Structure 1
């Protein structure tokens, strides 16, 4: 026992925050990898004119993630964040390998890959729900935006890694290229599994289960001031006591009770808007977008995903620098407005100047990605991690993750179908309108969470529910 205790004491806060957010690498890699693999897969399986099948292969991971996020969020309330992250890593390793060894059976191959990628999506969705919850529960309030933003840095680093791998493998024979691109996703998943083996459980989960001694020990790894530890423990215990006194078992209907409805709608709404704004249309299909704009073969445009990936990584670092200097709502509204204009202006310019340079749309897409990278991309997961009260955090985070993945799946599925039937500029203009609607939603429905403890945020929701109850006409 003493040996184990000594080993635990060697866990540094840097190690905890690094591997606590490392699940984002898996998320990001699988978002990005199909971008480079798809042109080779289309050629190998002769899918150039099968828009709906291409959409399903691309979006299958997101479809599985819808259910993975909800399931993992619920199970994490029972078994803990750490154990579920470990399970997600195992599932990711298995189905990444099975994706890379897809049999060549004609059209049946496409259906096999769709099913395998749906099952892989269970792990991707789980990571998207678990990592923000774990990081928000480990990070102190004053640095929660920056540390939770590590999740986004990991996601975009995973995307950039997949783009670089795609580029390095592009000169292999077509069949080998896409198989290695997909199969190598197992490597970061294995690294995650080994790292999480040494991670402690969330102190809030431990206290909820009645293990105060272990919760104090975990907080001692990541809080330097004993008084801060005592204060945080007292705050968490008070919240847990109120939950027990209410004698209320949480269920899906609990999420939309008067006490929690305001915060759940805010968190789930932001998560949904992030995807319906169309960002993943760029990340999944940028080589095909450039091909349609310029006429160059998609397989020769694999440098563009790397450009997008670099912008995303730089943007995530910018966010970590400004995260706790500006209000969450301000960043979301400014970012959403610029993103909307970046999608709408190419359609307006093309309408006024029909001979517009086809690369103009790509330039505007880069502007979109730049603002998305330090506003909606990281802040969605920061808000999902911090806005939900402890009693419902697992379920609510899972629900938010599922809505996020529903948007991601639909965008991935319908974008190639839409661009086959209408100009690209018109498709992106539709996404631009959704961006503006997202700004209005943040303005009217989302509370400010910067600098507040998780317990203070919960109190905001409770007070809002009381106001609504006493003023139903509002």
Structure 2
């Protein structure tokens, strides 16, 4: 049952990926039909992360009172409305508004889906299950590339296809209950136990279910009476978690992933791939690699752990981006091959670690009473820098060229190695309640996972 729950919640990731990736195929016909310039292109493209920024604020404010399930249903409605308005858009500003609406849905869902999965999953497989959200993002991106190839001359049909998974998300979430931890936090213990029993596919009287429920109820009782405030995120108890969550998303975005996803055909064009069809096919190939390597990351995250995978990911992306930057700077005759090979390596390294792990760790490391608010602030960093990267890419490439931009992204990945080594904890196999106890103990967060389970 828990895999079905993760798959349904993961549809939110597929919608996020689709709405990121669809613009890659739609830009060429949009330029032809609407005559947009680079500045307007950047604004329209970046409307999704800008809307997501606002959605993260709304989600953080409402999550404790409204619950995870209701907010996911609301996000599904926003996705449907945004997709249909995009398809019917009669001008650039209408399309920008439609993508802003989609962005609101993305911002809410990108918080609630990983949170819903994390609060529902057993500790032993939590990393893999939350990573389903990132896998869904990659499938959504690949689906967008396929749709772009199939409807290469009609941006309206490309955008309209986004309504299909949005309806599926609404129907799927409608059939589920809220998470056991949210229900326990709201004092609805009987419902929490029933939900946990269904998620574990075991009777309520099962010893393992009862033991897990007692831990969840105890954690909720410890937080009873605490009203989450943004000021609490800077308290000594929570601040280490906030720094890690914000830092990982900052590094994820400044590694340049969304410049590659949104503008992959443009990157290939700058690298010497002159045919539009070839650019789209090469972009679709990158999408396939993204999906496959995300599956590899899912298989490894609960075996190798979070820290080692992050170190591998940042090292691989730094090398890949450096190769592309050097090839572009030297005007190599093999730039096309270097760009293709470099992007394959970059996407591979990103997909196994830098892509999924900020979502996984964001949903793990905050205490229950401020979990939604903490994820909200981390998401603000994510969407703020997502917007900055997407909006700035066309301008930066025009000013500094492909070599300068990719060189900057490579430096960020090197900084990611240092950040992971010095600050990121290991949460593999540690229950959410144990993580919360560790934070309350005052021990350095980076020591988490190096102690025996249950030690504080």
TM range (shorter): over 0.9
1:143 aligns to 2:157 (yes or no): no
1:27, distance to aligned residue in structure 2 (A): 0.8
Matched, 1:377 2:355: yes
Q: Are residue 344 (structure 1) and residue 333 (structure 2) matched?
A: no
How far apart, in 2, do the equivalents of 1:234 and 1:386 lie?
19
1:368-407 correspondence runs (5 A): 368-407=346-385
Q: Tell me the residue number matched to 2:194.
A: 217
Any stretches of 5+ residues in structure 2 without a counterpart?
447-456
In 1: Cα distance, 2:368 partner to 2:216 partner: 9
The answer as to whether partners of 1:89 and 1:189 remain within 8 angstroms in 2 is yes
Q: Hey, what does 1:184 align to over in structure 2?
A: 161
Deviation at 1:227, TM superposition (A): 1.7
**SS in structure 1 at match of 2:442:** helix
Q: Deviations over 1:124-154 (max 9, x none)?
A: 1111111110000011000101111111111
Q: Matched residue of 1:344: which SS?
A: helix
1:472 matched residue in structure 2 = none
- Please give the alpha-carbon distance, in whole angstroms, between the structure 1 residues aligned to 2:393 and 2:445: 42
Q: Secondary structure at the match of 1:359?
A: helix
More RCO (CA 8 Å, sep 6+): 1
Larger CA deviation: 347-356 vs 22-31: 347-356
- Count of equivalent residues: 443
Q: How far, CA to CA, are the matches of 2:176 and 2:18 in structure 1? A: 22
Give me the whole-angstrom Cα distance separating, in 1, the residues matched to 2:47 and 2:374: 23
Report the counterpart of residue 42 of structure 2 in structure 1. Answer: 55
Q: 142, 145, 149: which is aligned to 1:163? A: 145
Unpaired runs of 5+ residues, structure 1, are: 1-11, 104-108, 469-474
Task: Give yes or no for contact 2:327–2:335 (8 Å, CA) kept in 1.
Answer: no
- RMSD over aligned CA atoms reads 1.8
- CA distance in 1 between counterparts of 2:8 and 2:348 reads 26
Residue 63 of structure 2 corresponds to: 76
Query: Is the aligned partner of 1:433 residue 2:415?
Result: no
For 2:3 and 2:346, the matched residues in 1 are separated by 32
Alignment of 1:407-422 (within 5 A): 407-422=385-400
TM-score (normalised: structure 1): 0.90
Distance 1:223 1:91, change over 3 A: same
Matching of residue 93 in structure 1 with residue 80 in structure 2: yes
Q: 1:387 to 1:131 in 2, by over 3 A?
A: same
| SS of equivalent to 2:355 | helix
Shift of 1:467: 9.8
Cα deviation 1:16-42 (Å, max 9, x = unaligned) = 222122211111110111010011101
Tell me the TM-score normalised to structure 2 length.
Answer: 0.93
